[in-house]
């Protein structure tokens, strides 16, 4: 069936951490992690989350603890208070404002072909966050777990999104960054799914994935033949 609606995740899909804010405790110490080191920490944390969710069926709240524990080990820094500070900064939604090149252009193009919406595990203020960074106008609805009362991968949040858009599951696709949360959550309710995989977490797996939003249009064409 042709896709009518594309749903987007936000964190690590549309918006990324502003490193000037989230990494400032490290930068202030003269420590500047490389992109490769950041991606390696992301792969470890995401794979750990996928394992935990597969075993417990619950959303793992320890993602950033795992991420920064790995990163600090790599940097040979042993400081619990520093790790806690970094985790706190990463969990502050206002520190997520960085867009990768082409994000606005891709959304402009997508909006001409599909109806667009957002499904996000957040604190009830994701719509305001998207409006603040200039992305709110591209989405008909922002489905926020803080308002719905269910977090991905619970089917209820995906079903709420489908109902809000008035679209059947087999006419919708979800783009998110975590296999156990986004990909499997969407598929469970009958939606198509694709992974935004900037860090190459799932590069060796036979899954529909892109590493840049710039590849989304072509990937959607290939996805549906």
Contacts 24+ apart (CB under 8 A), 200-208: 200/39, 200/43, 201/42, 201/43, 201/46, 201/47, 207/179, 207/183
pLDDT tens profile 171-192: 999 999 999 999 999 999 999 9
Is the Cβ–Cβ distance between 177 and 11 less than 8 Å? Answer: yes
pLDDT tens profile 82-137: 999 999 999 888 889 999 999 999 999 999 999 999 999 888 889 999 999 999 99
How is the chain split into domains, by residue range? 5-15+96-223, 17-95
C-alpha separations of 73 from 18, 29, 38, 190 in Å: 22, 16, 12, 40
Give domain 5-15+96-223's CATH number out of 3.10.129.10, 3.30.565.10, 3.40.50.261, 3.40.50.1000. Answer: 3.40.50.1000
pLDDT tens profile 2-23: 999 999 999 999 999 999 999 9
pLDDT at residue 57, rounded to an integer: 60
**This prediction's pTM:** 0.92
The first and second tokens of residue 144, run together, are: 């926020």
């Amino acid at each position: 069936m042709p896709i009518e609606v594309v749903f987007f995740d936000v964190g690590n899909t549309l918006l990324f951490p502003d490193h000037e804010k989230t990494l400032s405790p490290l930068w202030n110490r003269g420590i500047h992690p490389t992109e490769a080191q950041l991606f390696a920490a992301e792969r470890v944390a995401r794979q750990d989350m996928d394992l935990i969710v597969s075993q417990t069926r619950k959303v793992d709240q320890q993602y950033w603890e795992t991420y920064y524990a790995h990163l600090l080990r790599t940097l040979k820094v042993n400081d619990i208070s520093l790790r806690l500070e970094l985790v706190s900064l990463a969990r502050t939604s206002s520190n997520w404002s960085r867009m990768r090149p082409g994000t606005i252009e891709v959304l402009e193009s997508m909006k001409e072909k599909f109806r667009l919406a957002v499904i996000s595990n957040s604190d009830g203020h994701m719509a305001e966050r998207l409006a603040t960074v200039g992305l709110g106008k591209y989405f008909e609805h922002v489905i926020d777990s803080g308002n719905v009362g269910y977090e991905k991968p619970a089917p209820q949040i995906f079903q709420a999104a489908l109902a809000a858009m008035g679209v059947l599951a087999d006419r919708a696709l979800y783009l998110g960054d975590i296999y156990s949360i986004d990909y499997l959550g969407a598929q469970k309710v009958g939606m198509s799914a694709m992974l935004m995989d900037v860090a190459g977490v799932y590069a060796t797996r036979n899954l529909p994935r892109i590493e840049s939003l710039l590849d989304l249009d072509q990937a959607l064409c290939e996805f549906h033949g």
